[in-house]
Amino acid sequence: MSYNTIITTDTDLCARAIKSGEIVAFGTETVYGLGADCFDEQAVKRIFEAKGRPVDNPLIVHVCSIEQAKTVANTWTEEMEQLAQRFWPGPFTMVVEKNPDIPDVVSAGLDTVGIRMPGNFGAVEFIKKCGVPIAAPSANTSRRPSPTTAMHVYHDMQGKIPYILDCGESRKGLESTVYDVAGKVVLRPGVITPKDLETVAGKVSIGGKETKKPQAPGMKYPHYCPGYRVILVVGEKSEEKIRELYLEYSGNGQKCAILDIEGKLKNMSAYVISFDGDMERCAAALYGTLLDLEASIDVLFVRGIEKKDLGLAIMNRLEKAAADNIIYC
């Protein structure tokens, strides 16, 4: 099906579309999502089609209240209540046992489900008006960087979806922290850090290759890949290495840029984008920056940062964007 995609701020119109079985993109504080009624199997299937998403990658269910979250989960424990009270609305997804009424297509056949209450007024109002929890992945074609504005969604998905609910720019800019409540494991790092979680949950671990605990299935697929090569350079000699690579690649006629998050590269006559060490600003602008550069470069060199606090989530996305192009030096 081909649509004349409309960007709108009309939550009533978008809620009506959801009720009639359509899929609608909407803004949240993390990234834009592509939503459907989580109980409508056919509508949820259309999300997978529009994105080209592998069917074994489960969706997060978005709710407008704790009451609604209880209809998605199988049981509601004291720990879940505490996590919800502390981190919702906000960039936090809890993976819990699912209510069997949630169709398998949402959870990719798992008996768990990810639930989140977004911290964006427009998104919450929209979900309220829909009257049902909304299953939604990020509103991008699979593998592409996630969208943080309505225009990003439009450029990527126009013709494939009827409506984009413009909820403003996503203030946080990175997808939610995905946390497995039973295993106390962070499956995907985000703005809510392990340290934040530990204030409620006690000791938590960080999912990764070294753990045998279940991982977020989505993390095994290529992600955040813009239309140029991303080379991530990590380690003490990264400054020298980037100078060398920049000269080599630009000498070969490639259009290059450097992302220096900490703003430490000095006296470099090059196209350098920097956030002067402001991690929040970097997170908020990261995907927009990756997308904007598509118009002008062939290669982006990124200087790695410490995987600490918000740096953990930023490096997680950059490692995926770089895929096999990571140089340790």
The site for ligand TXA (CB under 6 A) is made up of 28, 30-31, 33, 57-60, 91, 93, 95, 107, 110, 112-114, 116, 136-138, 175-176, 178, 187-188, 216-219
Q: Closest separation between CB of residue 245 and ligand TXA, Å?
A: 31
Nearer of residues 171 and 243 to ligand TXA, judged by Cβ: 171
| Burial (CB count <10 Å: 0-12, 13-18, 19+), residue 13 | middle
Q: Closest separation between CB of residue 81 and ligand TXA, Å?
A: 19
Q: Closest separation between CB of residue 58 and ligand TXA, Å?
A: 4
List the single partner that 11 binds among ligand TXA, Mg ion, none, CB under 5 to 8 Å by kind: none
List the single partner that 145 binds among ligand TXA, Mg ion, none, CB under 5 to 8 Å by kind: none
Percentages helix, strand, coil for the chain (3-state, rounded to 5) are: 35, 20, 45
Q: According to DSSP H, which parts of the chain are helical?
A: 11-19, 41-51, 66-69, 78-87, 104-107, 121-130, 150-157, 194-201, 238-251, 279-292, 310-322
List the single partner that 17 binds among Mg ion, ligand TXA, none, CB under 5 to 8 Å by kind: none
* Beta carbons of 185 and 211 less than 8 angstroms apart: yes
CA distance linking residue 203 with residue 30, whole number of Å: 25
Task: Tell me how crowded residue 219 is: count the other CB atoms within 10 A of its CB.
Answer: 15
* Beta carbons of 62 and 134 less than 8 angstroms apart: yes
Nearer of residues 58 and 133 to ligand TXA, judged by Cβ: 58
Nearer of residues 49 and 244 to ligand TXA, judged by Cβ: 49
Nearer of residues 107 and 138 to Mg ion, judged by Cβ: 138
List the single partner that 95 binds among Mg ion, ligand TXA, none, CB under 5 to 8 Å by kind: ligand TXA
CA distance linking residue 62 with residue 278, whole number of Å: 29
- The torsion angles phi and psi of 209, rounded to 5 degrees, stand at -60, -30
Q: Closest separation between CB of residue 197 and ligand TXA, Å?
A: 15
Q: Give the residue at shortest CB distance from ligand TXA.
A: 218
Q: How far is CA 270 from CA 112, 230, 249, 274, in A?
A: 48, 16, 12, 12
Q: Closest separation between CB of residue 53 and ligand TXA, Å?
A: 8
Q: Closest separation between CB of residue 111 and ligand TXA, Å?
A: 8
